[in-house]
Amino acid sequence: MPPETRGPLRLDAAAGDFAERFTALVEARREADDDVSRDVAAILADVRVRGDAAVAERTARFDRHDLDATGWRIERAACDAALAALDPALRTALELAATRIRAYHESQRPADRDTIDGAGVRLGARWLPVAAAGLYVPGGRAAYPSSLLMNAIPAKVAGVERLAMVTPTPDGVINPLVLAAAALAGVDEIWRIGGAQAVAALAYGTARIAPVDVIVGPGNGWVAEAKRQLYGRVGIDMVAGPSEIVVVADAGNDPAWIAADLLSQAEHDPTSQSILFTDDQGFADAVAAAVETQLAALATGATARASWQANGAIIRVATLADAIPLCDRLAPEHLELAVADPDPLFARVRHAGSVFLGRHTPEAVGDYVAGPNHVLPTGRRARFASGLSVLDFMKRTSFLACDAASIQRIGPAAVALAEAEGLPAHARSVALRLDPTA
Amino acid sequence: MPPETRGPLRLDAAAGDFAERFTALVEARREADDDVSRDVAAILADVRVRGDAAVAERTARFDRHDLDATGWRIERAACDAALAALDPALRTALELAATRIRAYHESQRPADRDTIDGAGVRLGARWLPVAAAGLYVPGGRAAYPSSLLMNAIPAKVAGVERLAMVTPTPDGVINPLVLAAAALAGVDEIWRIGGAQAVAALAYGTARIAPVDVIVGPGNGWVAEAKRQLYGRVGIDMVAGPSEIVVVADAGNDPAWIAADLLSQAEHDPTSQSILFTDDQGFADAVAAAVETQLAALATGATARASWQANGAIIRVATLADAIPLCDRLAPEHLELAVADPDPLFARVRHAGSVFLGRHTPEAVGDYVAGPNHVLPTGRRARFASGLSVLDFMKRTSFLACDAASIQRIGPAAVALAEAEGLPAHARSVALRLDPTA
């Protein structure tokens, strides 16, 4: 049938082929398999060797402006001016978002540790921020000030002294809302460069741009692949894929609310995914109808429709509790539990990036102002990964101290193990402290 | 001059060319640039498609045994038998190590959070273990029971229910000490497979081997590259390079002790690195002489000598405090502060994997029995990375809940920002909760 009359997928957990069809849904590949890895490797190598010249050439080609003419950097004054010129209601909203994001992330600061144990050994761990972090902010359509806040504020809360942002400015143009957000978040440097070349400049450093230790922020396939290839030389936030939401909802919800929640993911990109689990067939039909109604009036309807038809799904389960193990298999980025009493369901959830509890908590409130980070693991990565946090901008140094007495208590075991492992210098370095004549 | 008469590098911070020579030392590349990435990609693709058959063929070729004849798994009973047969002193040592490692890592368990803020919004974070972790244990020379404990115990402390270990058994042979350590650590499955094919089997799963969520543990270039390529599909511990130690020592130390500490890294591998900072030229010469004396009697002397000559360095500084910013540029895996009062120096250290305080704390005691993890960032990665911890086997789910009142307080700002970002379905999903007639 023609694309415009296709799905969303409709599944019923009671159907005989459900296990098979649900597994196909779980394993469906939505991530672009762009074969950009060789291109990106060449860009990284070129920037590593030729530095700023390599960056400027690609900026001229792809963003159509001459950095030496337009300027490599956007100065703080321009950001302050953008903030000052902002519509007051929007400024209030941005400030509320920044304040709440900061408050949430301040509670993530890890505690140091410094204790002496029963053997008299001093043991501890000390957390410190990385010295410098790089932040990629996409240009054009996906230039979201909320995303800038979500990436920059945790770095600043961590105590990162130098936060260097890169953002492409196609034809020299930049979104003033992004500059205003940069001012609010306390970004230290802004470079008007983008693409894999900007990521390379941050990682390797150039004559103009000092290298950073961690690179975060969303980007296109080239940016993502550049980060992946540089992982290990610098820290990165994560490998990100298309956005997704799973909504678990009973018939007590207004179908229009749930439809809007499903569409709030679908409007991001045709590869986004929205899935509804419900125990009520009539409610499922009502939501499906509400989606169609809302799509007709939505400015982002073309994108949202493409996503909903290609990747959307409505799944009927006998009870909502049955949905939870299925959600765990999807390990969704966002999970709404739109029921009157969500805690019993939430207690059973094991794998989700962020959970939105109850009927009055649309996922979008978390995208902007609730406080928790909206940079979350996608593509089933919530099985092992967490949202962006202050910890991504810090590192832990463990430490220990023995004295002449405590090394006698634990040293002999170290000598025995080192000898058993065939590492005599290890053994000797301990044995000398036990008996200097050894 | 012939290789055997080459130095360690000797530098003096007072020399005119010091900055340049020290930078060369910092930037010297010790990591093998094995061009294995295409080989590894082919192995991963093959295991993904053909599963166990692809694994068995490579095991027959590289480890020279037929898995269907020797058995794919090593049963728990074999591990228990190995533990029971262990030399009693060695068993006591291994048990002390396991107990202390467990105690240290138990203190790393993160705290959950569930609060209601001033706006009436419930905000929280919940940590849960990954469902399954894979542990790579090298065969042959580098089959270290201490490494098994350091990788397995944090997973079990995190609460990982299924810890699947892979280890190659060349010619069918396995080190009983490793089996004993597996019994002590509570490893749930052991597969006698290795190489990139074993990593692929853990990541993708096969008919025999269920997939895991996180893969940790040391391995050769193929294993490391396999983990790097699979990063994002599974979590991995880190990109690891050659081991390294920096010792900051004054003339109050016994030169033989410091020489032993330097050699304890050098004996690992010719690519290992040992660097001494001292403020006393006579002490520097005494340590250099002690290294030569100890090398002559060391069973691992050939490796240690190769490392010391190629990568070792003795650097004289005017004061030991001057050494700290230089150490930070090296961001070493291990840092010994071998002075009477190490805390003032330690307070200034920013980048190091693990720090060993005072004259009686040889790094090797941390390799085995102190408690902190010995899996640490190498190759300057302590700028942004931390040692292995319980957190590597857990993930955090953020959550939030608004009610009908609190969404009225923060929702309007979300609507304003969503509209400014051109995401009307986001705005609508919130606006409907503010005014159901919207």
Please judge whether A231 and B235 are an interchain contact, meaning their C-beta atoms are less than 8 angstroms apart.
Answer: no
Whether residue A392 lies inside any domain: the answer is no
On chain B, the residues whose CB falls within 8 A of the CB of A109 are: none
Check whether residue B359 and residue B212 sit in a common domain. Answer: no
Whether A177 and B350 lie within 8 Å, measured CB to CB: no
Please give the average per-residue pLDDT across B378-407, as a whole number.
Answer: 97
Chain A positions in Cβ-Cβ contact with residue B229 (cut-off 8 Å):
none
With an 8 Å Cβ cutoff, are B382 and A399 in contact?
A: no
Run of H or E residues at B322: helix B320-330
Question: Do residues A146 and A289 both lie within one domain?
Answer: no
Lowest mean per-residue pLDDT among A237-241, B77-81, B219-223: A237-241
Give the chain B residue whose CA is nearest to the CA of A356.
B400
Helix axes B221-230, B37-50, angle to 10 degrees: 70
| Residue A288 sits in the same domain as residue A192 | no
Residues A253, A228 within the same domain: no
Q: What is the mean pLDDT of residues B349-360?
A: 98
Is position B334 annotated as part of the catalytic site?
yes
Do the Cβ atoms of A141 and B422 come within 8 Å? Answer: yes
Does B20 fall in a domain? yes
State how far residue A278 is from chain B, nearest Cα, in angstroms: 18
Judged by CB atoms closer than 8 Å, whether chains meet at B429 and A404 is answered as no
Residue A11: inside a domain: no
Same structural domain for residues B168 and B198? yes
Instruction: Report the pLDDT value the prediction gives residue B436, as an integer from 0 to 100.
Output: 74
pLDDT tens figures, A193-250: 999 999 999 999 999 999 999 999 998 889 999 999 999 999 999 878 899 999 999 9
Separation of first and last alpha carbons in chain B: 84
pLDDT digits (tens, 9 = 90+) for B306-317: 999 999 999 999
Q: Give the residue on A whose Cα is nearest the Cα of B178.
A: A421
Q: What does the pLDDT look like over A343-397, one tens digit per residue?
A: 999 999 999 999 999 999 999 999 999 999 999 999 999 999 999 999 999 999 9
Chain B residue closest to A259 (CA)?
B429
Query: Of the residues A189, A211, A236, which one is the last residue of a structural domain?
Result: A236
What distance in Å separates the CA atoms of residue B24 and residue B10, rounded to the nearest whole number? 13
Which residue out of B298, B335, B351, B396 would a mutagenesis test of the A interface target, given it has the greatest number of A Cβ atoms within 10 Å? B396
Residues 6+ apart with CB under 8 A from A340: A252, A358, A359
Contacts of B211 in chain A (CB under 8 A): none
Last residue in a domain, options A209, A236, A263: A236
CA distance B68 to chain A (A): 30
Interface contact flag, B369 A268, Cβ < 8 Å: no
Condensed to tens digits (0 to 9), the pLDDT of residues B22-72 reads: 999 998 877 766 678 889 999 999 999 999 999 999 999 999 999 999 999
For the stretch A117-156, what's the b/e string if a residue is b when 16 or more beta carbons lie within 10 angstroms of its beta carbon? bebbbbbbbbbbbbbbbbbbbbbeeebbbbbbbbbbbbbb
Of B236, B260, B289, which closes a domain? B236
- Residue A390 is assigned to a structural domain of this protein: no
Q: Which residue of A has its CA nearest to B236?
A: A384
Residues B209 and B318 reside in one and the same domain: no
pLDDT at A2: 43
pLDDT at B144 over 80: yes
The radius of gyration computed from the CA coordinates of chain B, to the nearest angstrom, equals 26
B161 and B309 belong to one structural domain: no
Residues of A in contact with B411 (CB under 8 A): 365, 369
Phi, psi of A3 (to 5 degrees): -55, -40
Per residue in B103-116, pLDDT (tens digit) is 999 999 999 999 99
Residue A393 lies in a domain: no
Just list the catalytic residues of A: 333-334
Sheet of strand A394-401, all strands in order from the earlier edge strand to the far edge: A113-116, A122-129, A394-401, B354-357, B334-338, B244-249, B273-278, B313-316, B9-12
- Annotated binding residue A75: no
Please state, in angstroms and rounded to a whole number, the distance separating the CA atoms of residues B271 and B258.
Answer: 20
Closest CB from A298, A352, A365 relative to B411: A365
- Number of Cβ within a 10 Å radius of residue A282: 10
Based on the fold, state whether residues A316 and A189 are members of the same structural domain. Answer: no
The Cβ of residue A29 has, within 10 Å, a number of other Cβ atoms equal to: 8
Distances (CA, A) of A387 to A27, A216, A382: 22, 12, 8
Number of structural domains chain A divides into:
3
Which residue in B352, B298, B330 sits closest to A429, CA to CA? B298
The 10 Å Cβ neighbour count of residue B127 is 18
Q: With contacts defined as CB-CB under 8 Å, which chain B residues touch A213? A: 383-384
Q: Which of B189, B267, B333, B363 is catalytic?
A: B333
At A32 the pLDDT is 63
Q: Hey, are the CB atoms on B145 and A421 less than 8 Å from each other? A: yes
pLDDT of B375 strictly over 70:
yes
B257 to chain A nearest CA, in Å? 6
How many degrees, rounded to 5, is the angle at CA A132 between CA A129 and CA A137?
115
Concatenated DSSP letters of B97-142: HHHHHHHHHHTTPPPPEEEE-TTS-EEEEEEEE-SEEEEE---GGG
**A243 known ligand binder:** yes
Strands A354-357 vs A394-401: parallel, antiparallel or unpaired: unpaired
Query: Does residue B390 form part of some domain?
Result: no
Distance from CA of B120 to the nearest CA of A (A): 11
Mean pLDDT of B193-222: 96
Residue B1: per-residue pLDDT? 38
A229 marked as binding residue: no
- Verify that A298 and A351 share a domain, yes or no: yes
Which residues of chain B neighbour A400 with C-beta distances below 8 Å? 354-357, 361, 365-366, 370-372
Give the domain extent around A108: 37-119+130-236
* Contact at CB, A371 and B123, closer than 8 angstroms: yes
CA atoms within 13 A on the CB side of B256: 11
Q: Taking a C-beta distance cutoff of 8 angstroms, is the pair B429, A367 a contact?
A: no
Please tell me whether residues B194 and B327 are part of one structural domain. no
Residue A125 in domain:
no
B214: chain A residues, CB-CB within 8 Å:
384
Instruction: State whether A436 and B369 contact (CB < 8 Å).
Output: no
- Strands B113-116 and B122-129, bridge-based pairing: antiparallel
Nearest Cα residue to B407 out of A336, A370, A95: A370
The residue in chain A having the minimum alpha-carbon distance to the alpha carbon of residue B356 is A400
The sheet carrying A244-249 orders its strands as A9-12, A313-316, A273-278, A244-249, A334-338, A354-357, B394-401, B122-129, B113-116
CA distance A378 to A364: 16
Residue A265: name the closest of A117, A378, A428 by CA: A378
- Could you say which of B349, B368, B391 has the minimum Cβ distance to residue A413? B368
Instruction: Using DSSP, state whether B16 is helix, strand or coil.
Output: coil
pLDDT on residue B33 = 60
The answer to whether B424 contacts A131, with C-beta atoms less than 8 Å apart, is no
Mean pLDDT of A85-101: 97
> Both A417 and A356 in a single domain?
no
Check which CATH number belongs to the domain holding B93 and give it. 3.40.50.1980
Mutate to test the interface with A, among B121, B417, B423, B434 (most CBs of A within 10 A): B417
Q: Any known ligand binding at B197?
A: yes
Does the distance separating the beta carbons of A410 and B96 come in below 8 Å? yes
Contacts (Cβ under 8 Å, ≥6 apart) of A135: A148, A151, A152, A155, A163, A164, A165, A166, A187, A215, A216, A217
A68/chain B closest Cα distance in angstroms? 30
Q: What is the pLDDT of residue A432?
A: 97
Asked if residue A4 belongs to a domain, the reply is no
Regarding whether B269 and B212 lie in a shared domain, the answer is no
Q: Closest Cα to residue A246, out of A270, A267, A262?
A: A262
